[in-house]
Structure 1
């Protein structure tokens, strides 16, 4: 089986399902790659992947999907010694004019849902495909990272903090596959297992 994954702490749900499934089928072979949403969707369309995990609502005319059990919460990752780190939550006013780091996909699709007509007040300093790289730049006081919670180490010893956005901004995560896709028998069995595990939070076609 071939998986393409967006970044989220909820990937742990998928990892647990694969681990459980591998105990039933020890000879299972699978391959994991990580890209942003647009890249994994393109590879799914080309038949290079069996399943992808997307951080946006999939096109129900092309795909079937399962929604992950939780949601990802947005916030700002920044050094603990900057003034904004003392706030309980971050508003658009707090970030206006500051250098910001964010994935290109999220800057286009997610952040506008939060900033609304204030989007022009926000300044994208740089876009990153990998949140770790962006966190390194944030740690060096080069900008503020807009990210999901739980992707960057913000433990007390890390020198970094995560502060949620207000109003709250959340994103759902989806396990996605092509409509009418012909799976291998092992992939069919895996899909049956994960449907049962994820329960009724299905978004289409199952």
Structure 2
């Protein structure tokens, strides 16, 4: 006998009508009627006398109602006991490394869920580029990390996040290319460019250029905050992703996407072959359930 059938039966017995039971259960009246009929067929016993719109328990129905109340109460108590046990386990500090990207919002959403469910959980967030974050992950200084592709994840467990990160150039409004809608490989020749010093990013850019004249790389940066003043003063243009530039001063700066479109994703990574604490395992589980 399914618990669901007992719950439907008990609700009908308590409500006295199928319509009221359907309202309480947030289902349709035919659904309730089918479930009650299925239970009566399973038990080969009539549980209700049906008179007009009212349902009255038979003798067998009265007996089942008392048993159903005991079973459902015990089920709720058992579920609550496991919930309480889980809450007791979920304490401590979750250490997260995260790059600057649109997917920072995804990280925040998962943290919002977790801290609402487990108020005793705290968190520490380290922001940096992929090299800094992976170094901290390897040293055990962070538990999980959100990294921006291109990135080598072969030595980690990983989960690719669905939100797309679009690459382009951040430039001053007065820059000669700012009247364009996109940046093509042919536009890049000789441009004063500030970019990440990660080799994987340079390789990605070279593939996108497809043999076109390369830009003139004048400097490197790892956090967008520090490069914005240089771009405003037209020292150079910055190769970055759209998501980290949403809050810049758009009266002074403009982001132009690359064309052909150059897009990558973020990945959630954690160390391979390590025993995860319940806290870390639960955080990863939330990502898996949302995006796997």
Shared fold (TM-score, shorter chain, > 0.5): yes
Distance 1:141 1:14 in 2: 33
Match of 1:7 in 2: 100
Match of 1:152 in 2: 245
Cα 1:157–1:50 shift into 2, 3 Å: closer
- Structure 1 position 110 matched with structure 2 position 214: no
Of 258, 263, 269, the match for 1:176: 269
Match of 2:141 in 1: 48
SS at match of 1:121: coil
Structure 1 residues not aligned, in runs of 5+ = 201-206
- Are 1:102 and 1:146, in contact at CA under 8 Å, matched by a contact in 2? yes
Distance 2:130 2:106 in 1: 18
Query: How many equivalent pairs are there?
Result: 197
- Are 1:154 and 1:162, in contact at CA under 8 Å, matched by a contact in 2? no
Distance 1:168 1:148 in 2: 12
Instruction: Using the TM superposition, give the Cα deviation of residue 83 of structure 1 relative to its aligned residue in structure 2, in angstroms.
Output: 2.3
Q: Residue by residue, what CA displacement relative to the aligned partner does 1:111-170 show, whole Å, maximum 9, x if unpaired?
A: 12312333x621111101111211210111111111100312467753211111111111
Structure 2 residues not aligned, in runs of 5+ = 1-93
Matches within 5 A, 1:1-206: 1-56=94-149, 57-60=151-154, 62-105=155-198, 107-118=201-212, 121-153=214-246, 157-198=250-291, 200=292
Structure number with higher relative contact order (C-alpha < 8 Å, ≥ 6 residues apart) = 1
- Are 1:132 and 1:152, in contact at CA under 8 Å, matched by a contact in 2? no
Distance 2:141 2:125 in 1: 12
Distance 1:154 1:188 in 2: 33
Distance 1:29 1:109 in 2: 38
Q: Residue by residue, what CA displacement relative to the aligned partner does 1:5-47 show, whole Å, maximum 9, x if unpaired?
A: 1110111011111011100001112111012112211221222
Question: Structure 1 length as normaliser, TM-score?
Answer: 0.88
- Are 1:4 and 1:52, in contact at CA under 8 Å, matched by a contact in 2? yes
